[in-house]
Amino acid sequence: MRILLLLLGAYAAAVAVGTRAEAQNYPWCAIYSGGAASGGTNCGFITFQQCMETARGLGSLCQPNTQYQPAAGPYPPRKLRARYPY
């Protein structure tokens, strides 16, 4: 019984430590206007059209996310060539 509890605890610890949480990074932000400097920002939009559909009718606007950095893609390695052959 103790071994079972020990194994269950070890499994729970491994699952809790093994998962990594990362913030999402999207290219468009909706800026919500709300009275005296109490508006909000939602930077969770992939396309400008998606942002505008959400912002429409709320007195909001969409702008590019200044913190957006696209994920590194699977680019093939480039071969470096000498500029001047010897």
At 21 the pLDDT is 62
pTM for this predicted structure: 0.54
What does each of the 86 residues of the chain score in pLDDT, given as a tens digit?
888 877 887 777 766 666 666 667 899 999 987 655 667 888 999 999 999 998 888 888 999 999 888 877 776 667 766 676 65
Tell me which residue has tokens 């400097």. Answer: 37
At 22 the pLDDT is 66
Close Cβ partners of 79 (under 8 Å, ≥ 6 residues apart):
none
At 23 the pLDDT is 66
At 49 the pLDDT is 95
Please state, in angstroms and as integers, the Cα–Cα distance from residue 61 to each residue in 9, 33, 36, 40, 52, following that order. Answer: 49, 8, 17, 11, 7
Separation of alpha carbons 22 and 13, rounded Å: 19
Separation of alpha carbons 65 and 51, rounded Å: 11
